[in-house]
Structure 1
Amino acid sequence: MTGLRTMVLWCPDWPVVAAELVEGVPSTDPVAVLHANRVVVCSEPARAEGVRRGLRRREAQSRCPRLTVVAHDPARDARAFEPVVAAVEELVAGVAVVRPGMCAVPARGPARHLGGEEVAAERIIEHVAQACAVESQVGIADGEFAAGLAARGGRVVPPGGTPRFLADQPVEALGRPALADLLRRLGICALGDFAALPPGDVLARFGADGALAHRLAMGRDHRPLAVRQPPVDLTVTADQDEPLDRVDAAAFVARALAERLHDRLAAYGLACTRLGIEAVTAHGQELHRTWRHDGLLTAAAIADRTRWQLDGWLSGGRSGAEPVRPTAGIVRLRLVPDGVVALGALQPGLWGEAGEERDRAHRALSRIQGLLGPEAVVTAVLGGGRSPADQVRLVPWGDERRSARPGSPTSGWLPGRPGEPPWPGRLPPPAPAVVLPEPLAATVRDAVEEPVVISARLAVSAAPVWLTIGAGPPVAITGWAGPWPVDERWWEPAAARRRARFQVCLADGAALLLAVEGGRWLVEASYD
């Protein structure tokens, strides 16, 4: 598909500019940003001294002895670029950050709103310079890739002229050094030569990444513009005409503010897990504290933590020898959701929220045990074993959760942790959904209504066709697998067990685990 008309803003040598903005390294001096001991970006004065991308640190410093070296820090570059993106968003909507130092926006909206593509480009460059004191260039073309190349020269490519503009660009413009080196060795030096190759041959020779690069060379973007959504301000603030110097008055304000914050988060489908509480006193003193929580903060939980913190500030507690009591009453209270998650992304505990609810459940279950005995409340613990019934042990609530047999529920058919014993002869996955407390007697017959028997050598007399459970009606068997034999504790006659297991599917949609032991068929479990 032909690329969407796109406008790209590019800030030259952005890592160098970001180092100046964040760390105060003057970009008017020779500066080089290094990654893995090689230059990735350098300033204009450094280029004038012969420094180039790809040079090793020692060679770059030999060419420019007064070179200032800065470590590559993508996080620093992204932080410094955020004000630039915000400035662009003040004029246009739908900004997409390509990388720190470059952002893109569909050109149609700004062109119609600001009076043309060239006028829009000039307005954006001027606004970024005034708001952020950052030099930038804008390019416009059909597609993000072509617009990015046009931005390096500050060009506006006419509609439909993108293939012709790209044809003269070197293959290094693709940003794939290995592919560019291979193309040059094959005699393909420009994007126009690369775009003229048949797409099928490019895919067969250069692979999927080469095919994507071929689409870019033809002026066709392989993905739509990823629009950046402006961040939502979730902070809530309450300004007070009269300073708050009493805990009860502050608690009243805190509860109303907590409900506002909770409602705002809920409107965006979010929940808070970390809460920042900020206060400003009448004397300009700023107080801040962060509260963390291992569950979702409800409106009541937010209000409680805010009240507790205000109580701590206003009651004049001490931390070592430094008083933390504010010098005046609080005139501004702000709640900042420092950590937010999607409302369904954090799984609550079995008893509701984690923390206090878990303790309440423990006290309630312990009281039931006190009235009815320890075995009245039990939890299941999974462990080792060959049959589903052997893998589960019911442990009284509050006792140590230790399995009856060592090993994990997967040992035997998956590699276990070091030190875990194997369980050969274990059933393959999936595990049954319901294990019967007592196996049910059953009868399995073949096509001529004869009982199916298993020999000592595990030979099946005939294919199972009918299953009868207890006194119920026979049900047709549509599929079966097995047998899986197990011969346990043969050295101890009193505890020895020898049986074979089958998995069967029935005509009514049920799936069962059957076992043959001592010539008797038993239903041990069922599958979902």
Structure 2
Amino acid sequence: MYASFQVPLFSLAILLRDRPDLISGPVALVCCAPDSDTSTPSTAAKPVILAVNHEAARCRVTEGLSPTKALARCPHLNLISSNPADECLHQDALREYLASLGSDFEETAMGVFILDLMSIPHAMKFPGEWVEQALRKATPLRLPLDVALARTPDLSILAGQSPALRHTLRFNADPIFCMAQHPTFAIQHIDSQPVHSLNCVSTEIALEAELLSLWGIETLGQLANLPRQGLAERLGPEAKIAHDVLHGKHHRLLRLHRPPERFNLSQQLEYPIETMEPLLFALNRGLRTLCSRLQSSQRAASSLRITLTFDDGDLYAHKIELPEPTCDSSLLLRVIQTHLSTIHAPAPATGWSLHLTSASHEGKQYHLFKRSLKNSRRFMDTLGRINALLGPGRLGVPFLLDTHRPDSFQIKGALCGDNIAAKEDQNGYNSSPRCGLIQNGTSLPLSRFRPTLPIHVVSDPEGRFPKPLALLNGPYCGPVTTSNGPFPISGHWWDPVERWQQVEWDIQLTSNVLLRLAYHSPNHWVLEGIYQ
């Protein structure tokens, strides 16, 4: 036995929930849909009517109409737009409501659920009493709800669309409960429903309603009276499945909803801990528990977050990224120990919390000509020690930026597999034959100063750009004997914040030192590098 829970006109119902002044009048839900007249997506969206209430339907306002045509048919029509954020919130509330009734339920669509009653003995023995209790439990939601019982999941959806078989909950000032006239399902109670209602029941059914209408078959009762073999020969296996659904012979399995499992563990210590050894002992027990839960669910930890609370009320939290997913508690404990050895606790610890981010085990593809991590434990331990020496945010992989600005790069996380792969691709691109020719054509390599060194330069203001004559300070001072330039470069001229412009000069001093200077307006010189 199965029970279907359906919120009629879900998107429209949640909007009218907090606007009771619109319930008595004609209301239509409007959403912008792409223009289907062209094969490419249109830049201008075409608004259409998605759903209408009973009063709007009496004025011949139907789904798919444009707002202009709908207002022409019903001048007093109220148009409201959908709110996806509210829909997700109410869907979560409905999901929690179904979980309070039973654990085995399917989230069929937005506002539509199917509950398996085999694990609920009270519902199997006293279905009418159980349905009434379920409806009363749904009153805090303040949403209209239809509940119907049937022997298969698909029939329960069809029974929920029949006024004779569904139990309803409506709201005026107070909740209104209406029990079904016929609590036992029979096909006679759904024989007047249109044929296209089957398309909403299962993804396996896609009947051509227009073709069946030409044959004079417009209702479910007319379709159920036809011979099954004849339908299968003329309309294919989908018609056979539809025939079996109507006669209760198609019993599909529910796609059971299972909430994501959280791998969290926390503990408030009875006595404050002042040294690291007892804290690591407690953390080791927690890690073993979490890793055993990970192994039982065939998962691994891709990152861990540790939170410590101290006796003075202070709180410390840190997230550690792992180079590859693992469920080895000893490895995770060593990572935590390496990190905790770098911090100074302001007071004794009074509690701790661990959170593991679960991920699936990664499959490794070893290559003949590419190097991979031989020992991820040692690599992770080395990165932890380097990060402790340099400080947070100072360890990563450098990437060249897509710009002509000299020495432009960005540091990204060293533990991200995508960054490592992108770095290999970038190195492969830089080592291409074309780049090799350019690099071989350079006479001398340039060693850059990071950051550049600001200096004072005596320059000749004649000409478009000032020409360096002598260096007054910095690591290299003296008059300029030879200069090559100017080389003006610029970029991002369209962005007032990111725009940049500089003029480069290659110079030689009396000491035969070859340098590169850069001039930034107004009258700002920097030493970029030295030629080796």
**What TM-score does the superposition give when structure 2 sets the normalisation length?**
0.52
Which residue matches 2:29? 32
Residue of 325, 328, 332 corresponding to 1:302 = 332
Q: Contact 2:117–2:124 (CA<8 Å) still a contact in 1?
A: no
| 1:357/1:98 CA distance change after superposition, 3 Å | same
CA offsets per residue over residues 15-35 of structure 1, 9 Å max, x none? Answer: 3456789xxx75865562636
Residue of 95, 98, 103 corresponding to 1:93 = 103
- Helix, strand or coil: the match of 2:229? helix
Matches of residues 74-93 of structure 1 in structure 2 within 5 Å?
A: 77=87, 80-93=90-103
User: Partners of 1:87 and 1:15 in 2: how far apart?
Assistant: 18
Residue of 248, 271, 278 corresponding to 1:219 = 248
Q: Contact 1:33–1:72 (CA<8 Å) still a contact in 2?
A: no
Matches of residues 116-515 of structure 1 in structure 2 within 5 Å?
A: 116-130=126-140, 132-152=141-161, 153=163, 154-155=166-167, 161-175=185-199, 179-221=208-250, 223-229=252-258, 231-242=260-271, 250-278=279-307, 289-297=318-326, 298-307=328-337, 315=344, 331-341=350-360, 345-348=361-364, 357=375
User: Partners of 2:298 and 2:270 in 1: how far apart?
Assistant: 33
- Helix, strand or coil: the match of 1:236? strand
Amino acid at match of 2:329: A
User: Partners of 1:198 and 1:38 in 2: how far apart?
Assistant: 40
- Helix, strand or coil: the match of 2:218? coil
User: Partners of 2:192 and 2:78 in 1: how far apart?
Assistant: 37
**CA drift at 1:191:** 0.4
Q: Contact 2:159–2:190 (CA<8 Å) still a contact in 1?
A: no
Structure 2 unaligned blocks of 5 or more: 34-46, 168-179, 201-205, 380-426, 430-532
**CA drift at 1:252:** 4.1
Aligned length: 339
Residue of 113, 120, 128 corresponding to 1:103 = 113
User: Partners of 2:375 and 2:16 in 1: how far apart?
Assistant: 51
Structure 1 unaligned blocks of 5 or more: 317-324, 362-399, 403-528
Amino acid at match of 2:98: V
Residue of 6, 11, 17 corresponding to 1:10 = 6
| 1:347/1:183 CA distance change after superposition, 3 Å | same
CA offsets per residue over residues 334-375 of structure 1, 9 Å max, x none? Answer: 33333332xxx5325769xx75715969xxxxxxxxxxxxxx
- Helix, strand or coil: the match of 2:324? strand
| 1:93/1:162 CA distance change after superposition, 3 Å | farther
User: Partners of 1:8 and 1:151 in 2: how far apart?
Assistant: 7
| 1:339/1:212 CA distance change after superposition, 3 Å | same
Q: Contact 1:279–1:332 (CA<8 Å) still a contact in 2?
A: yes
Q: Contact 1:92–1:110 (CA<8 Å) still a contact in 2?
A: yes
**CA drift at 1:223:** 1.7
**CA drift at 1:162:** 2.8
Amino acid at match of 2:194: P
- Helix, strand or coil: the match of 2:101? coil
Q: Contact 1:95–1:227 (CA<8 Å) still a contact in 2?
A: yes
- Helix, strand or coil: the match of 2:302? strand
**What TM-score does the superposition give when structure 1 sets the normalisation length?**
0.53
Q: Contact 2:199–2:207 (CA<8 Å) still a contact in 1?
A: no
- Helix, strand or coil: the match of 1:209? helix
User: Partners of 2:307 and 2:54 in 1: how far apart?
Assistant: 44
Which residue matches 1:389? none
Q: Contact 2:299–2:358 (CA<8 Å) still a contact in 1?
A: no
Q: Contact 1:250–1:310 (CA<8 Å) still a contact in 2?
A: no
| 1:235/1:199 CA distance change after superposition, 3 Å | same
| 1:244/1:360 CA distance change after superposition, 3 Å | closer
CA offsets per residue over residues 432-461 of structure 1, 9 Å max, x none? Answer: xxxxxxxxxxxxxxxxxxxxxxxxxxxxxx
- Helix, strand or coil: the match of 1:189? coil
Q: Contact 2:32–2:48 (CA<8 Å) still a contact in 1?
A: yes
| 1:106/1:355 CA distance change after superposition, 3 Å | same
Instruction: Quote the RMSD (CA, aligned, Å).
Output: 4.3
| 1:283/1:94 CA distance change after superposition, 3 Å | farther
User: Partners of 1:52 and 1:309 in 2: how far apart?
Assistant: 63
| 1:240/1:170 CA distance change after superposition, 3 Å | same
| 1:90/1:157 CA distance change after superposition, 3 Å | same
**CA drift at 1:189:** 1.6
Deviates more, 1:88-97 or 1:177-186: 177-186
**CA drift at 1:112:** 3.2
| 1:240/1:212 CA distance change after superposition, 3 Å | same
- Helix, strand or coil: the match of 1:227? coil
User: Partners of 1:292 and 1:47 in 2: how far apart?
Assistant: 56
Amino acid at match of 2:237: A
Amino acid at match of 1:335: L
User: Partners of 1:356 and 1:18 in 2: how far apart?
Assistant: 55
